[in-house]
C-alpha cells in the first residue's frame, strides 16, 4: 500500500487587472498578492482569507514557480515583493 501525499499548504498567486486587460497593462501600481493557507489544524472555516495574504515572492519561494514571468522583470520585482493590505 502506498502512502498518499497531502499538501501542507495551499498557495495561490493573484494579479488584479481590469476586465480585458492583458500583461501589457500591468504596471508598478498593479495590485498583486499571494495567499498561503495551511492544510492542518487548527484552521477554522470562519477565518477570513485576508489573514493568509503574503507577497507573491513568498508564494514563489514556497512553490519554486515564477508566476508572473511574462511581466517585465523590473515591474515584476516591485509587484511581487509588495504586501497587500486592501
In this predicted model, what pLDDT tens digit does every residue of 13-68 receive, in sequence order? Answer: 888 887 666 777 889 999 999 999 888 777 788 888 899 999 999 999 999 999 99
For residues 62-82, average pLDDT: 93
- Whether the CA torsion 56, 60, 65, 69 is positive or negative: it is positive
pLDDT confidence bin for 4, thresholds 50/70/90: low
For the chain, give every domain's residue range.
9-81
The whole-angstrom separation of Cα 13 and Cα 6 is 20
pLDDT at 20: 66
**Which residue matches cell numbers 515572492?**
57
pTM of this structure: 0.81
Amino acid at each position: 500500500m502506498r502512502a498518499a501525499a497531502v499538501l501542507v499548504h495551499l498557495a495561490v498567486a493573484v494579479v488584479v487587472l481590469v476586465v480585458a486587460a492583458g500583461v501589457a497593462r500591468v504596471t508598478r501600481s498593479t495590485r498583486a498578492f499571494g495567499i498561503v493557507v495551511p492544510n492542518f489544524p487548527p484552521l477554522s472555516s470562519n477565518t477570513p482569507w485576508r489573514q493568509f495574504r503574503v507577497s507573491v515572492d513568498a508564494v514563489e519561494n514556497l512553490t519554486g514557480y515564477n508566476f508572473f514571468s511574462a511581466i517585465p522583470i523590473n515591474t515584476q520585482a516591485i509587484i511581487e515583493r509588495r504586501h497587500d493590505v486592501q
